[in-house]
Structure 1
Amino acid sequence: MIQAFFDGLAASGDPARAEHALGYFPTAMRHLGVTTPRLRACLQPLVRAQRAAPDADVVFALWSNGIFEARQAAYQLLESVPRLRRSLSREAVLALAAGNDNWCSVDTYGTYLAGPAWREGVLTDADIAAWSASPDRWLRRTAIVSTIALNIKARGGRGDVPRTLAVCARHVSERDDMVQKGLSWAVRACIEHDAEAVAEFLTEHDAALAGRVKREVRNKLRTGKKNP
């Protein structure tokens, strides 16, 4: 069944789309240029099989192949089969962060796997703090994006503004573009739960925060939109 998945991916690739994607989120992984709907269709037989009999080895087989879309599929499989995700150990969850070298892989991992695992106590605050302290920009973004699962209803979040802003506070002086964008997203996700705390965060860190972050968060506070 795994081979059938890879065969389906190969048959669904579009070289022109793959070239465009490399410009949008450059990666050392191999892009096939598979559309999201087609990727989901290829994955569906595995989703059905994993719901019946979860097997983490299948996740690692997809994740480790070196194909960008296959890694996305591994994370999507975990999101689609919560029982499979909850079967993973802390060590397995951490291992599945390795090699993420673009914002798309990071954000999918952070919102589908790391964030829920943190929310449910599989990962610890110390694990997130270790990512925050990493010299790897993508792990720092992972720490920030993992907070999305605490606050966005679509990702199972019910609101945890204190923990979110504690993570964000570690990154207020960052000038890396990818980290700044993640920071803005994470802070904005807190607004529906505690807009006052977000406003206080902006005031406290006004001198350190990048202009982009302050602008986008203030826009969201004022108008409900990042870029009105």
Structure 2
Amino acid sequence: MTPEQALQDIKALEDPQKAAEMAAYHKVERPYLGVSNPQLDALYKDWRKETDIAQRIEIAAYLWDSNIHEARIGAAKLLTQARIKPDQAVWDEICRWVPMFDAWAIADHACGAGARRLFLDDGRLDTVESWTQDENLWVRRAAMVITLPWTKSTHPKPEELAQRERILGWAAGYVNDPEWFIQKSVSWWLRSLSKHDPERVRQFMNDYGAGMKAFARKDATRLL
């Protein structure tokens, strides 16, 4: 399996009508092929059978650099894996993508891949923290999306609880950010956390909720 073959596999499924619909929906100027996520899932699972980690990184980098919507999502799916050792090259490739984020769908798939690498090596939170000051709103948003695993534990270990508090500090810094997608990333994080630690979310809302947009306050607390 070569990078070029992987891209041809995606292009072979092109559907011009669906591509036009996707372009209208996502509203970001780039090529669309009209290939669905289930179709991409079938492809990347086949690619994995034929490749090792180094080859997957090479394929993912090639697909990402094509700038094709489905290829970028395929790249992220290919690198979304729970156990990879060593995984520094995978993390480095995902971090290479981050400054190029410009839309939620691609960014969310990439953050899904990155979250697995991040949660297994919390020293990488230092890198993610630098994203919170980036001029690109999608990079700032990624800091919340990629850290969602820290919202999912009902009984976190002490070090995990400290990391959660660190990320909540970033969220507090976002409260006055006027960008809709930034506000949404904070409310998403809090809503996810509310399933496991509702009291901590109530505390956050008491401290910072007044500064949030009304829709974000509602979204953050709708499961409480």
TM-score tier, shorter chain, comes to 0.7 to 0.9
Residues in 1 aligned to 2:95 and 2:122: alpha-carbon distance in whole angstroms: 10
Moved more, 192-201 or 56-65: 56-65
**C-alpha displacement of 1:84:** 6.9
Residues in 2 aligned to 1:89 and 1:74: alpha-carbon distance in whole angstroms: 11
Aligned length: 214
Task: Give 2:35's aligned residue.
Answer: 34
Task: Give 1:67's aligned residue.
Answer: 68
Q: Is the 8 A contact 2:14 2:33 kept in 1?
A: yes
Moved more, 74-83 or 132-141: 74-83
Structure 2 residue runs of 5 or longer lacking an equivalent are 154-159
SS at match of 1:13: coil
Check if 1:139 corresponds to 2:142: no
Residues in 2 aligned to 1:71 and 1:123: alpha-carbon distance in whole angstroms: 26
The aligned amino acid for 1:165 is L
Q: Is the 8 A contact 1:59 1:77 kept in 2?
A: yes
Task: Give 1:118's aligned residue.
Answer: 118
**C-alpha displacement of 1:162:** 1.8
Check if 1:129 corresponds to 2:129: yes
Deviations 1:161-188 (A, max 9, x none): 3233122112111221111222211111
Residues in 2 aligned to 1:34 and 1:85: alpha-carbon distance in whole angstroms: 32
Task: Give 1:47's aligned residue.
Answer: 48
Residues in 1 aligned to 2:215 and 2:35: alpha-carbon distance in whole angstroms: 32
Deviations 1:47-81 (A, max 9, x none): 1123xx22122221222112111111111111147
Q: CA RMSD in A?
A: 2.3
Are the structure 2 counterparts of residues 201 and 108 from structure 1 closer, same or farther at C-alpha, using a change threshold of 3 Å?
same
The aligned amino acid for 1:166 is G
| TM-score when normalising by structure 1 | 0.84
**C-alpha displacement of 1:123:** 5.5
Q: Is the 8 A contact 1:71 1:105 kept in 2?
A: yes
Check if 1:216 corresponds to 2:219: yes
Structure 1 residue runs of 5 or longer lacking an equivalent are 222-228
Check if 1:174 corresponds to 2:173: no
Identity of aligned residues (%): 22
| TM-score when normalising by structure 2 | 0.85
The aligned amino acid for 1:204 is D
Are the structure 2 counterparts of residues 44 and 117 from structure 1 closer, same or farther at C-alpha, using a change threshold of 3 Å?
closer
Deviations 1:21-56 (A, max 9, x none): 223222233111101111122222211123xx2212
Are the structure 2 counterparts of residues 214 and 85 from structure 1 closer, same or farther at C-alpha, using a change threshold of 3 Å?
farther
